[in-house]
Structure 1
Amino acid sequence: MSGTAPSPFAEAKERLRRQALTRRAALTGVDRVEASLQLADFATDLELEPGLAVAGFWPIRDEIDPRPLLTKLRDMGHPLCLPAVAHPTLIFRSFGRDTEFVPGGFGTMAPGPDSAELRPEVLLMPLAAFDSRGNRIGYGKGHYDRAIAALEKDGPVVCIGLAFDVQEVGEVPAEAHDRRLDALLTPTGLRRF
């Protein structure tokens, strides 16, 4: 038999990921839209220093939509960027109202290659599941883990997860390489860790 068996951590994370994503998928379209709009109501609760560059994400499948929040943050004076898949890690390109978007991989859209790269000081991150201590489960590809590690070589980065409340799980089995969120924003408010 070739290959190695999945670690107990990986198996537990996959089980929790499936459960949380099933609950997320069960939300109605109206519930998702309302929840996404509610995120913007908490923009000032993030207490971001003026002018900090903020990276959002383009929602895929049934993720919470950060675009209303991003619009509010742009109106507050924050430069915005979105990730684009590159190797070995994500890169972030700035965008504004007139930016042309191109397919960005995995069903996302990203600012085109003519958009300037921008190093975000704040990452608004999608996730599959989270717990009350700020541990998160992504989608298992490690894109954000690698991006955070690369960004932190040049200084701190604030990591804020965006999710629906139904994505909370009892406990995420955290490994040594897992970076805890600094905060989490759901439609019911901000939690700091």
Structure 2
Amino acid sequence: MTSQDIENDELKLAKRAVRKAGLAARATLSPVERIERSLALVDFVEELGVEPGSVISGFWPIRDEVDPRPLMDALAKAGSSLCLPVVTGDDLVFRRLEKGGPLEPAGFGSMAPGPEAEVVHPNVVLVPLSAFDRNCNRIGYGKGFYDRALSDLEKLTDLTAIGVAFAVQEVEEVPMEPHDRQLDGILTDRGLLKAGD
């Protein structure tokens, strides 16, 4: 093994440990706490500074994730249109979400509009995560879907990427690789943390 191989293995182990810590902290919240803290996100909707007319990708919560749907509803009421990600192969596509429109399974236990829905390119992406740090670095679930999607969207639009999580998922430091993208902010039940603050 080369020193680069050893370094890569150490980074993978460090990421795995951080992911596990963030998920373990999230799992300590009771169902009622998760609901209350998810609803608290709406209190900070204006801090996001989202322009009316923006196309916002939310996400359908899985397992014990924060539920961004109340926040998404508030953003829609403020004049944004919504979409949800769908896993297609190794990538995400974003389909327009219409209020009351049909949803179908979209991979990993999530739901999204079906193939008849318009594919759009959001300029604001609400990003799920396992853990985050004060520098707005995130670690996801290890498949790289959002890293690839954010990289692709940045080529098409002036993109803002906001992690959405419970405050308990904060860790001291998220190990970063060259392909990992720092987020523009992290919204938790305690407010908005901005990159560079």
User: TM range, normalised to the smaller chain?
Assistant: over 0.9
In the TM superposition, what is the alpha-carbon distance from 1:10 to its structure 2 partner?
A: 1.0
Partner in structure 2 of residue 37 of structure 1: 39
The aligned amino acid for 2:164 is: L
| Aligned counterpart for 1:91 among listed residues 87, 90, 93 | 93
| Aligned counterpart for 2:175 among listed residues 173, 176, 179 | 173
Partner in structure 2 of residue 25 of structure 1: 27
The aligned amino acid for 1:45 is: E
Partner in structure 2 of residue 191 of structure 1: 193
Unaligned runs of 5+ in 2: none
Root-mean-square deviation over aligned CA pairs: 1.2
Partner in structure 1 of residue 74 of structure 2: 72
User: How many correspondences in the alignment?
Assistant: 190
Deviations 1:25-75 (A, max 9, x none): 110011000001000111111011221100000000000000000000000
Give the % identical residues.
Answer: 50
Matches within 5 A, 1:139-158: 139-158=141-160
The aligned amino acid for 2:9 is: S
Distance 2:130 2:44 in 1: 21
Distance 2:171 2:124 in 1: 24
Deviations 1:99-151 (A, max 9, x none): 10000010000111111111100000000000001110000000001111111
The aligned amino acid for 2:59 is: F
**Larger CA deviation: 162-171 vs 87-96:** 87-96
In the TM superposition, what is the alpha-carbon distance from 1:88 to its structure 2 partner?
A: 4.1
Unaligned runs of 5+ in 1: none
3-state SS in 1 of match to 2:104: strand
Q: Which runs of 4+ in 1 moved over 4 A?
A: none
Q: TM-score, normalised by structure 2?
A: 0.93
Distance 1:20 1:49 in 2: 31
3-state SS in 1 of match to 2:119: coil
Matched, 1:60 2:62: yes
3-state SS in 2 of match to 1:85: strand
